[in-house]
Amino acid sequence: KKGAIVAASPPTPSLSAFSVLGMDHAGVSRQEERGSELMVQLMANITAAFVAEATTLPLDMVKVRLQVQVSPAGQRGGPRFRGMLDCLLQTASKEGLGGLWGGVAPAVTRQVSTAAFGGIFLHSALGRITAGKAPSEVTFADKLIAAAGARSAALTIMHPMDVLKTRMQLPARGKRPDLEEAVRQIHETSGVRGFFTGLAPSIARTFVITATELGTYSHIKAFLDGRDVPEGIPMFAASSFLAGVASALVSTPLDVARTRLMAQAGRVAVRQGQAVMYTGTVHALFHQREGIVATEGVLALYKGFLPTVTRKVVWCTIFFAYYEKVVEYFYSLK
């Protein structure tokens, strides 16, 4: 089977993209095969990303809702949602099963486009950074710069879709805004800049997760290899889970900050009332009066941890299965 040279990244960045970097650097250096392989694997990348994103979107919706609900430290009565399962059940009960797929249009658009842009950028970045180097000479820094740089560039282009998705996933007392209404609300209150709210923590989070997954995935895979875990989906799912836990531990605080910032887009700032508007990542996390740590406690930085890890495992497993099947299908046509 041909070596994989393009891979997608889930919304909470990507084990699938970054593990490929370590598995097959040789694939990107075969000049004579680049064109056909890039096209086949780019199509597989996009198809698999579409299926994985659409299938696991309810878990992303749960993560967003858990992260935006404010529960001041010491406050009685508790939050509206008591956890991942409770959020799923409440949403399905009050909004129907369709409510679990809120924001599906911008979510799928963002993921498929990011898969395409990210794959192309990754292919180009690896070609430049590793030019003239043997596989054994490719360093961790080379992989990190190529993977995180490509992912960040793709995310920047599609960040408005991420903001719209988040806006459409928020709990609403009445009817939730559709895509057109969400665009109008954000533009009227925040202008064009509103569509790039939360970009800084998104990029920071990408680099943190990329470094963590690049640093842990190969060690985890070697550990599982020594314990006779079968290759293929079992190995990938187990590796995804363990690397996903590691990356979620270091990145969830940034994810909470970016979600809170994106949720503000389209809303009017209120400082003496219920809605506190954060001015940036540091303010959201650590402001001495209004920050998440000060008002909700340190554990609030890990809201949405369980759906984040769960979605990463399910997303990567679905992606891997479909990616392999699509690549095999295209090569069988040759």
Structural domains in the chain, sorted by start: 32-333 (1.50.40.10)
* Cβ partners under 8 Å of residue 294, min gap 6: 286, 287, 288
Task: Provide the 10 A C-beta neighbour count for residue 209.
Answer: 30
**Structure-token match 């079992």, residue found:** 234
Q: What is the pLDDT of residue 174?
A: 67
The predicted structure's pLDDT at residue 269? 52
Decide if 106 contacts 179 (C-beta within 8 A). yes
CA 65 from chain centre, in angstroms, equals 16
d(CA 73, CA 88): 24
Q: Which residues contact 192 (CB under 8 A, 6 or more apart)?
A: none
Predicted TM-score (pTM) of the model is 0.83
CB 306 within 8 Å of CB 83: yes
For position 284, what pLDDT does the model report?
Answer: 95
Q: Report the pLDDT value the prediction gives residue 31, as an integer from 0 to 100.
A: 43
Site of tokens 């994106």: 262
Give first-to-last CA distance, the chain, whole Å: 13
The one-digit pLDDT tens for each residue of the chain (334 residues) are 443 333 433 333 343 444 344 434 344 444 445 557 778 888 888 999 999 999 999 999 999 999 999 876 545 455 689 899 999 999 999 999 999 999 999 999 999 999 888 888 888 888 888 888 887 788 888 888 988 999 999 999 999 999 999 999 998 766 788 999 999 999 998 899 999 999 999 999 999 998 888 888 778 877 887 777 777 777 777 777 888 889 999 999 999 999 999 998 877 554 444 556 899 999 999 999 889 999 999 999 999 999 999 998 898 888 888 888 888 888 888 6
Per-residue CA distances from 241 to 197, 286, 304, 306, 314 (Å): 30, 29, 16, 11, 9
Task: For residues 209 and 203, give the distance between their C-alpha atoms in angstroms, rounded to a whole number.
Answer: 10
Residues 6+ apart with CB under 8 A from 53: 10, 11, 107, 108, 111, 112, 315
Q: Cα(96)–Cα(143) distance, rounded to whole angstroms?
A: 43
pLDDT value of residue 206: 93
Q: Amino acid letter at 304? A: G
Q: How much is the pLDDT for 72?
A: 65
Q: How many CB atoms lie within 10 A of CB 294?
A: 14
pLDDT at 249: 94
Q: Tell me phi and psi for residue 159, to 5 degrees.
A: -60, -35
Q: CA 112, CA 89: separation in Å to the nearest integer?
A: 28
Give CA–CA dist 240/319, Å, rounded: 11
- Indicate the angle between helix axes 199-225 and 140-169, nearest 10 degrees: 120
Secondary structure string (H, E, C) spanning 235-253: HHHHHHHHHHHHHHHHHHH
Q: What is the pLDDT of residue 226?
A: 77
Q: pLDDT at position 136, please?
A: 79
At position 320, the amino acid (one-letter code) is F
